Amino acid sequence: MGAPAVLEVERLTTDYGPVRAVDGVSLTVRGGSITAVLGANGAGKTSLLRTISGLERASAGQVRLDGEDLLGVAVEDIVRRGLSHVPEGRGVIAELSTEENLRLGGLWRGADGAALEEAYALFPPLRERRSQLAASLSGGERQMLSIGRALMAGPRVLLLDEPSLGLAPIVTAQIMQLIRTLAAERGLAVLLVEQNARSALSIADRGIVLNLGRVVADDAADALAADEDLRQAYLGF
Amino acid sequence: MTRFIDLTLNGISTGAVYAAVALALVMIWRATRIVNFAQGGMLMITTFIASSVIGSSGSYWLGFAVALVCGLVLGAVVERVLMRRVEGGPPLNAVIVALGLLILLEAGAGMIWGNTPRSFPPAFSIRGYDVGGTTLLFSPNDTFTVLVVVAVAVGLALLFRYTAVGLRMRASALAPEVARLLGVRVGRMFTLGWALAAFVGSLAGLLVAPSVFVGPNQFDPILIFGFTAAVLGGLDSPPGAVVGGILLGLALSYVSGYEGASLVTLAALVVLIAVLMIRPGGLFSTRKERRV
Amino acid sequence: MNAALARLRAPQSTLLRSLALALLAGVALFIASELLSAYDDLQLASGSYYFVVLAGLTVLTGLSGQISLGHGALMAVGAYTVTLLVGNEHWALVPALAAAILTTALVGTIVGAAATRLRGPYLAGATLAFAIGLPALADKYPNTFGGANGLIINPPTPPSGLGSSFPLERWEAWIAGAGALVVVFLMRNLTRSGVGRSFRAVRDDEIAASLCGLHVGRVQTLAFVVSAACAGLGGGLLAVVLQLAAPGAFELGLSLSLLTAVVLGGLGSLVGAIWGAAVLVLLPGWSNDLAHSFSLSTNVSNNLPLAVYGLVLIVAMLVWPSGIQGGVRRIIAVARRILRRRIGGTPEKLDKHSTQDQEEQPNES
């Protein structure tokens, strides 16, 4: 595995025409740790992830993975650099089967049956439904599928966009624990975008809060969770 | 009764050709959400090339092979150079660009080869089989037509279902953004999709050329029939394209036999309108029916 | 004085303005026809009937957002109606043209009603089938329609009041020109009227339009009927000018050329229809000249106009979607900006003058 991965984002700015969705955001995430990105709807969290993975074009700033520039790399090549992005809504391809979705994740590096077995070991419910169309999976199962598929690529950095969306609290807690374990065991650098700030902060090491595209708080997760004013103002609890 | 059998057999063999064109259209639609109105022009060009190769080399199968290869290349080039710029935009733009390409190809063919339709040899004998004293309207060439189209359709189905490339192509068509995030080179998959579709189209051109003759405008009706068959089966469904092709072939064969050959295109129009009115998604529609 | 001027800007000015424009155009056409040679008068006549068709087609495609590849076949309906009525039944010219308009409008109602459920490529495919299939009727019923050779009628004789040596071509140019003027007047009013606005509303957002009380299907069918009526008149005029209606004149190439002309001129622009008509009339001649000066073979020169149309469609969609009229409009806008800086008047006042002259914005696809 080598040295832990480092994802560095420096004064990143993204514009959609006249609207500035991401305004000078800076952060650093190290392998084995989780950084939560929090804030209200429209705060720029999704835009931040989409800019890092290349789906949106940055107007200014830098993104580096292990010192190498990521901006300007084609979206198709981002995963080859070691960064996996699980998009908003999970991006599970409903018309393909569970197994096809998983295989798709590992195609670029020619992942074989062993990688597939690993995924099923990690997510037993998926094994049961391996030949079924992904459309028939429950919300929690789809989340497992999207994470499993991202892991098939063997990433060093994982971007997760609202994994708890639409999930029951129990399932959310399970998924969060899973992410915590994966980050620790595999040394993944995880950037976790969440509306559910409470559950995100419960597993994160650090947290940043966005408002209107700007960072308004950047601190250890515990400190953020303890700051009542901040919670009320931006995080809703 | 023999007439009915004859028309049925004839319908199956012409239907196989329509199925091939429909398959080409469906593949491109599934991949890039464009109806390739230039398909008729593209297969016309490759058939002309085959005709020239056969004429100068004397070998049918050489011309056959060259046409198929040219189809692959032409499909790839058209997608990369032209269609890439209108993919994902308003549908009207892609329609107009495809039509422009159709006109350009037909004019270009007229410039190179002239506008007089010329004959084209069939792959095998076109003399009908002798059954119990009567000659059927179905020949070895027809058998070849049906078999080769079925083989190609099955081959493509296997490709899409069981190979890594097929998986990549399906993912690119269904969810291009997600596919990109997973490292699939979506652009290349689109190009490959167009290349394969044009390959199938070229095949259709070679199979139908003996009966329609080769000329810049001779393949216009085939485009209509292929489009109708594709809509009949469902633009999203490759098996639908094959079934739609056969069904349309049968229907038009009966119309031609009992009402006259000149009404065939109008009959196709009637079928097209009927499908679009009653069941716009086609026979095999899987997606939820949207307004077409 | 200002009050009088203000009254002139009241709503009725659209009607008056259109009438004034039509009259001006009429005078210009009259003068041109007197000055031009017989051959050029024939070109003028051709340009007029093409304009008639294109005016309807550009309203359909630009204002109403529906593509049609079948207008060549609709022209055929008008042409055959005129040749049948004038040739077999010996009708007079104007009633025959009126009948052509009505017949084609009827066909347009059927096609349009079917078309309301279709969008984009499906509509294109269906109208394409129509374009290829309809001329086959001439083969199916050769006795009525004259088969591949078509039907011939006698040329229209100029009234005796104009003198016995009045050139036939000029008379044809006057007839076709009159048709074009009527269409200019009617179409210009239509595009600026409530009906025209309903076309645009349905094009831009069907759901919003139906929430405002517009019946989407009826509006779209109406657009089709209007454009079909124009095509019928254009086809009828074509039959008068050429004294012939034959299937070969109405093949797929015609429908595609019409579409090209409309795209080239600028979708939705009546002035663009003039450009498009000019191209349709002049291009074959130019390409022939080009072929001669470069000693190109007949194969090349025959197919050159079509090749140009194909290139135009591709290039227009990729590079220049708003066509000639869009380009002209941009030049005018730049010129206005320069003028404004020179004169130094308030921008709003100058704009209010200019909006009443503006054609409908082309459909920026």
Secondary structure, 3-state, chain B: CHHHHHHHHHHHHHHHHHHHHHHHHHHHHHHHCCCCCCHHHHHHHHHHHHHHHHHHHCCHHHHHHHHHHHHHHHHHHHHHHHHHHCCCCCHHHHHHHHHHHHHHHHHHHHHHHCCCCECCCCCCCCCCCEECCEECCCCHHHHHHHHHHHHHHHHHHHHHHHCHHHHHHHHHHHCHHHHHHCCCCHHHHHHHHHHHHHHHHHHHHHHHHHHHCECCCCCHHHHHHHHHHHHHHCCCCHHHHHHHHHHHHHHHHHHHHHHCHHHHHHHHHHHHHHHHHHCCCCCCCCCCCCCC
Any idea which of A198-212, B25-39, B266-280 has the lowest mean pLDDT?
B266-280
Residue C211, classed as helix, strand or coil, is helix
Q: Are C212 and C77 in contact (CB under 8 A)?
A: no
Q: Are C107 and C229 in contact (CB under 8 A)?
A: no
Chain B residues within an 8 Å CB radius of A100: 167
B180 at interface of A, judged by CB pairs closer than 8 A? yes
Q: What's CA A73's distance to the chain center, in Å? A: 19
Q: Are C52 and C183 in contact (CB under 8 A)?
A: yes
Query: What is the ipTM score, two decimals?
Result: 0.91
The CA-atom distances, in angstroms, between A191 and each of A70, A74, A79 are 15, 20, 15
Q: Assess if residue B15 is contained within a domain.
A: yes
Please judge whether A91 and B168 are an interchain contact, meaning their C-beta atoms are less than 8 angstroms apart.
no
Q: What confidence tens digit (pLDDT) does each residue in B130-153 have?
A: 887 778 888 899 999 999 999 999
Instruction: Identify the pLDDT of residue C299.
Output: 80
Q: Assess if residue C2 is contained within a domain.
A: no
User: What is the spatial distance between Cα A51 and Cα B223, in angstroms, rounded to a whole number?
Assistant: 43
Asked whether the predicted pLDDT for residue B75 surpasses 80, the reply is yes
CA proximity to B263, closest of C126, C133, C257: C133
Instruction: Identify the pLDDT of residue A12.
Output: 93
Based on the structure, what is the number of domains in chain B? Answer: 1
Q: Assess if residue C363 is contained within a domain.
A: no
User: What is the spatial distance between Cα C132 and Cα C47, in angstroms, rounded to a whole number?
Assistant: 24
Which distant-in-sequence residues (6+ apart) come within 8 Å of B81 by Cβ? none
- Could you tell me the domains of chain A? 6-90+156-235 (3.40.50.300)
Q: What mean pLDDT comes out for the span B162-173?
A: 92
Q: Are A199 and A173 in contact (CB under 8 A)?
A: yes
Confidence of residue A56 (pLDDT cuts 50, 70, 90): very high
| The two structure tokens encoding residue A4 | 């832990």
Instruction: Identify the pLDDT of residue A86.
Output: 94
Using CB atoms, which residue from C119, C130, C299 is nearest to B292? C119
| Count of Cβ atoms closer than 10 Å to residue C197 Cβ | 14
Using CB atoms, which residue from A80, A96, A153 is nearest to B171? A96
In chain A, what is the greatest distance between 2 CA atoms, to the nearest angstrom? 51
Asked whether the predicted pLDDT for residue A223 surpasses 50, the reply is yes
Chain B residues within an 8 Å CB radius of A80: 183
| The two structure tokens encoding residue C8 | 């002139």
Question: B223: distance to nearest CA of chain C, Å?
Answer: 9
Please judge whether B97 and C253 are an interchain contact, meaning their C-beta atoms are less than 8 angstroms apart.
no
Average pLDDT, chain B: 89
Confidence of residue A88 (pLDDT cuts 50, 70, 90): confident
CA angle (B5, B9, B13) in 5-degree steps:
170
DSSP string, A147-204: HHHHHTT--SEEEEE-TTTT--HHHHHHHHHHHHHHHHHHT-EEEEE-S-HHHHHHH-
Q: What mean pLDDT comes out for the span A69-75?
A: 90
Q: What is the pLDDT along chain C (365 residues), one digit of tens a residue?
A: 566 655 555 556 778 888 888 888 888 888 887 777 878 888 888 999 999 999 999 999 888 888 888 999 999 999 999 998 888 888 888 898 999 999 999 999 988 888 877 777 888 888 888 888 887 777 777 777 877 778 888 887 777 777 777 778 888 888 888 888 889 888 888 888 888 888 888 888 878 888 888 888 888 889 999 999 999 999 999 998 888 888 888 888 888 889 888 888 888 888 889 989 998 998 888 877 887 788 777 788 788 888 888 888 898 888 876 666 677 777 777 878 887 777 655 444 444 333 333 444 443 33
Using CB atoms, which residue from A93, A100, A108 is nearest to B183? A108
Instruction: Identify the pLDDT of residue C365.
Output: 30
Task: Give the best residue of B168, B172, B178 to mutate against chain A (max A CB count within 10 A).
Answer: B178
Instruction: Identify the pLDDT of residue C208.
Output: 84
Q: Assess if residue C362 is contained within a domain.
A: no
Asked whether the predicted pLDDT for residue B290 surpasses 60, the reply is no
CATH number of the domain bearing residue B42: 1.10.3470
Confidence of residue A192 (pLDDT cuts 50, 70, 90): very high
Give contacts of B 140-179 with A, CB under 8 A.
164, 167-168, 170-171, 174-175, 177-179
Touch between chain A and chain C: 3 or more Cβ pairs under 8 Å = no
CA proximity to A226, closest of A192, A202, A190: A202
| Count of Cβ atoms closer than 10 Å to residue C299 Cβ | 17
| Count of Cβ atoms closer than 10 Å to residue B284 Cβ | 18
The CA-atom distances, in angstroms, between B39 and each of B74, B245, B261, C153 are 11, 16, 23, 39
Rounded to the nearest 10 degrees, the angle between the axes of helix C38-58 and helix C252-265 is 80
Q: Assess if residue C5 is contained within a domain.
A: no
| Count of Cβ atoms closer than 10 Å to residue B155 Cβ | 12
Any idea which of A194-203, B68-77, B99-108, C20-29 has the lowest mean pLDDT?
C20-29
Chain A residues within an 8 Å CB radius of B170: 95-96
Please judge whether A53 and B181 are an interchain contact, meaning their C-beta atoms are less than 8 angstroms apart.
yes
Please judge whether A93 and B171 are an interchain contact, meaning their C-beta atoms are less than 8 angstroms apart.
yes
Please judge whether B91 and C317 are an interchain contact, meaning their C-beta atoms are less than 8 angstroms apart.
no
| The two structure tokens encoding residue B113 | 């080869």
Order of strands, edge to edge, in the sheet holding A214-220? A83-86, A157-161, A189-193, A34-38, A206-211, A214-220
Residue C1, classed as helix, strand or coil, is coil
User: What is the spatial distance between Cα A200 and Cα B292, in angstroms, rounded to a whole number?
Assistant: 43
Based on the structure, what is the number of domains in chain C? Answer: 1
Chain A residues within an 8 Å CB radius of B178: 87, 91, 93
| The one-letter amino acid at B175 | A
Q: Are A96 and B171 in contact (CB under 8 A)?
A: yes
| The two structure tokens encoding residue A191 | 């950037």
Q: CB pairs below 8 Å between A and B: how many? A: 60
Q: Whole domain around residue C188: which residue ranges?
A: 13-355
Instruction: Identify the pLDDT of residue B129.
Output: 84
Using CB atoms, which residue from C118, C136, C252 is nearest to B276? C118
Please judge whether B107 and C259 are an interchain contact, meaning their C-beta atoms are less than 8 angstroms apart.
no
Q: What confidence tens digit (pLDDT) does each residue in A119-159 have?
A: 999 899 999 999 999 999 998 899 999 999 999 998 999 99
| The two structure tokens encoding residue A120 | 């099923």
Please judge whether A107 and B178 are an interchain contact, meaning their C-beta atoms are less than 8 angstroms apart.
no
Instruction: Identify the pLDDT of residue C198.
Output: 85
Q: What mean pLDDT comes out for the span A88-98?
A: 91
H or E element, residue A8: strand A6-16
Q: What confidence tens digit (pLDDT) does each residue in B1-12 have?
A: 778 888 999 999
Confidence of residue A191 (pLDDT cuts 50, 70, 90): very high
Q: Assess if residue C304 is contained within a domain.
A: yes
The set of long-range contacts for C25-30, using a CB threshold of 8 Å and a minimum separation of 24, is: C25/C180, C25/C181, C25/C184, C26/C177, C26/C178, C26/C181, C29/C173, C29/C177, C29/C180, C29/C181, C30/C174, C30/C177
Instruction: Identify the pLDDT of residue A42.
Output: 80
Residue A30, classed as helix, strand or coil, is strand
Any idea which of B22-26, B33-37, B191-195 has the lowest mean pLDDT?
B33-37
User: What is the spatial distance between Cα B228 and Cα B241, in angstroms, rounded to a whole number?
Assistant: 9
Question: A77: distance to nearest CA of chain B, Å?
Answer: 6
B183 at interface of A, judged by CB pairs closer than 8 A? yes
User: What is the spatial distance between Cα C220 and Cα C226, in angstroms, rounded to a whole number?
Assistant: 10
Which distant-in-sequence residues (6+ apart) come within 8 Å of C103 by Cβ? C77, C78, C81, C232
Please judge whether A95 and B180 are an interchain contact, meaning their C-beta atoms are less than 8 angstroms apart.
no
Q: Which residue of C has its CA nearest to B234?
A: C122
Q: Whole domain around residue B86: which residue ranges?
A: 2-112+142-278
Question: B79: distance to nearest CA of chain C, Å?
Answer: 13
Instruction: Identify the pLDDT of residue C363.
Output: 38
